[in-house]
Amino acid sequence: MTDTITITDDRTGKTVTVPITGGVFSSAALRELDPSLFMYDPAYLSTASCASSITYLDGDAGILRYRGIPIEQLAENSTFLEVAYLLIKGELPTTQELEKWELDVTHHTMIHENMRKRFVDGFHYDAHPMGMFISAIAALGTFYDDAKDIFDKDSLEKQVVRLVAKVPTIAAMCYRFSQGLPFVSPNNALSYGENFLNMMFKIGDDYKVNPVLAHAMDVLFILHADHEQNCGTTAMRVVSSANSDPYTATAAAAAALYGPLHGGANEAVVRMLTEIGDIKNVPAFVESVKAGEGKLMGFGHRVYKNFDPRATIIKKAAYDVFEVTGKNPLLEIALELEKVALNDEYFIKRKLYPNVDFYSGLIYQALGFPVDMFTVLFAIPRTVGWLTHMQELLNDKEQKISRPRQWYTGHDERPYVPVAKR
């Protein structure tokens, strides 16, 4: 028997019964009752804005799966480019498919010289790399006259490969510019993660990417590749629903990610730990959070109310990295903060647990990334998720241009008053 829900409009006595499928019912039921009736749902707390077959997330059980495969198995056995293929194409690649995909991505890592010499050079010397990254992604689209051919499957696939391949190059370029260092060209002989680290940190001919660190980078990229309908992905879908090109839509998604409540949280975590400064200050800091004087950054999640499976994997990856780089001095403060918060009634009652950003910043710092690069590091792999959602949206016959309704709470009609009479 199908589950159903029956809604009665008490004003008219009219009733409508609709099926519940997978815990969801169509809001079209409301329009059947009264076409001028809308649900008020700020921040989409109870609204599914799309049907999606990309990522499954069960916040209560701490489950995250890409195309059905648990994140733990992917982090353990796969590579970022293989995961990117899985997300974008829907299936794991065969050996030949993987080789071709890796070759395609590797051969699109270069960016036009004008991007570096004229576009990036125009920024102020201390520009935030994420601000540079967002604008560089939007600008990149202007270099391809086929960027707007989003309904041509081959053309869209080409833009996807270009974006996946070029985001690390752009990210590294922004960093090198901010440091006043010469740009390092992509190296086709290196893996995705190795190439990125090489473009970031190579100084002189002797630089060799440490394989443990390259692996950690790859795992971090896998963990951040997609996270269903979060703020950035929603921005990607909303902008894509207007049929904007993938570069513009990716820039919009990256802009959402920049916010401190979203991808900017890892940066905020390190700043918070630095400010706490010593484990003896942890209890006072936790009290100040409970008194409403700020948030415990890296804690809490809209969906995960038990634990964030990414946080568990990242904590382990952090120790692998620290074996090579030595311990991040902020780690002790983080561990103490985690211990105090997890035993405190305030956090227990609100189901606040460490999220992916609580430890990722510490790894990034140990790898040598400056704090203001952290959100850029999140944006590189998430570009894969964003583009996957864009493709899904464009193929979804039920989707139209996004256009939510509002609950108007302003003035009724009133006359204009000339300035002299106000």
Which range of residues in 132-140, 193-201, 350-358, 390-398 is near ligand CMC by CB under 6 A? 350-358
Residue 174: enclosing H or E segment and its boundaries?
A: helix 153-179
Looking only at residues 37 through 56 of this chain, which bind ligand CMC when binding is defined by CB under 6 A? none
350 is an interface residue for ligand CMC by CB under 6 A: yes
Q: Where are the alpha helices (DSSP H) in 180-279?
A: 192-201, 211-224, 231-241, 246-257, 265-276
Looking only at residues 296 through 315 of this chain, which bind ligand CMC when binding is defined by CB under 6 A? 296-302
Residue 25: enclosing H or E segment and its boundaries?
A: none
CA–CA separation, 140 vs 123, rounded Å? Answer: 16
Which range of residues in 7-15, 68-76, 93-101, 256-264 is near ligand CMC by CB under 6 A? 256-264
CA–CA separation, 129 vs 131, rounded Å? Answer: 5
CB of 47 to ligand CMC, least distance (A): 14
356 is an interface residue for ligand CMC by CB under 6 A: yes
158 is an interface residue for ligand CMC by CB under 6 A: no
CA–CA separation, 236 vs 242, rounded Å? Answer: 10
Which range of residues in 34-42, 185-193, 210-218, 290-298 is near ligand CMC by CB under 6 A? 290-298
| 128 is an active site residue | no
From 226, 245, 357, 372, active-site residue: 357
CA–CA separation, 183 vs 177, rounded Å? Answer: 8
389 is an interface residue for ligand CMC by CB under 6 A: no
From 224, 227, 301, 389, active-site residue: 301
# residues near ligand CMC by CB under 6 A: 20
| 357 is an active site residue | yes
Which range of residues in 9-17, 165-173, 272-280, 292-300 is near ligand CMC by CB under 6 A? 292-300
Terminal C-alpha separation, the chain: 65
Name the token pair of 220.
Answer: 């971090």
Asked if 333 and 273 touch (Cβ cutoff 8 Å), the reply is yes
What x/- string results for residues 175 through 214 when contact with ligand CMC is judged by CB under 6 A? Answer: ----------------------------------------
CB of 267 to ligand CMC, least distance (A): 11
Give the Å distances, CA to CA, from 14 to 5, 142, 195.
14, 53, 63
| 301 is an active site residue | yes
Which of 156, 185, 211 minimizes the C-alpha distance to 387? 156
Torsion of CA 116, 119, 124, 125, to 10 degrees: 0
Among 194, 338, 357, 372, binds ligand CMC (CB under 6 A): 357
Buried b (16+ CB within 10 A) or exposed e, 267-292: bbbbebbeebeeeeebeebbeebeee
**Complex with ligand CMC: residue 103 or 348, whichever CB lies closer:** 348
Which range of residues in 146-154, 214-222, 349-357, 403-411 is near ligand CMC by CB under 6 A? 349-357
Among 108, 215, 295, 327, binds ligand CMC (CB under 6 A): 295
**Could you give the count of Cα atoms lying within 13 Å of 82 in the half-sphere of its Cβ?**
18
Q: Is 410 exposed, middle or buried (0-12, 13-18, 19+ CB in 10 A)?
A: exposed
262 is an interface residue for ligand CMC by CB under 6 A: yes
**Complex with ligand CMC: residue 67 or 301, whichever CB lies closer:** 301
223 is an interface residue for ligand CMC by CB under 6 A: no
Sites of contact with ligand CMC (CB under 6 A): 227, 230, 261-263, 265, 289, 295-302, 350, 352, 355-357
